[in-house]
Amino acid sequence: MIVRNFDHPEAVQTTYQAHGGGVARMILDTRHLRDVMFLAGCVIPPGQTLEGHVDPMEEIYFLLSGRATMKVDDETAEIGPGDAVWIPQGSWHELTNIGEENCFLGVIAAPIREEVKAEWGID
């Protein structure tokens, strides 16, 4: 069994700025996982945005606290605690904290498939 959280020393060592709008940490990654790329946690302060971007992997954003506007390609939805958003591989996506408290977001990423690696030029 592996138990980790956002403040675990291994996760703290991975702290990074997430798409201009939040602080993220890899809670579990390929050092621990076999069939999933990573589980990251991200704190987004009020009024901040995880800037729109495209990833070569499928992701799930799971909002644990706060309120946000989530955009995936041409769709927009307001999300709250307990909402999960599926982001298909290659889809443009952006999240904005629209509340008065921090949003805490879990991000789960699926492995990049071999055909996608070739398409995106990833080794």
| pLDDT for the residue 86 | 98
C-alpha 24/C-alpha 44 separation (Å) is: 9
Task: Give me the tens of pLDDT residue by residue for the chain, a chain 123 residues long.
Answer: 999 999 999 999 999 999 988 999 999 998 889 889 999 999 999 999 999 999 989 999 999 999 999 999 999 999 999 999 999 999 999 999 999 999 999 999 997 777 777 877 877
Domains, the chain:
24-120 (2.60.120.10)
What is the per-residue DSSP string for 60-118?
EEEEEES-EEEEETTEEEEE-TT-EEEE-TT-EEEEEE-SSS-EEEEEEEPPPPHHHHH
Global pTM value = 0.89
The helix/strand count (H/E) of the chain reads as: 2, 10
C-alpha 42/C-alpha 63 separation (Å) is: 10
Q: Which of 122, 119, 108 is nearest to 24 (CA)?
A: 108
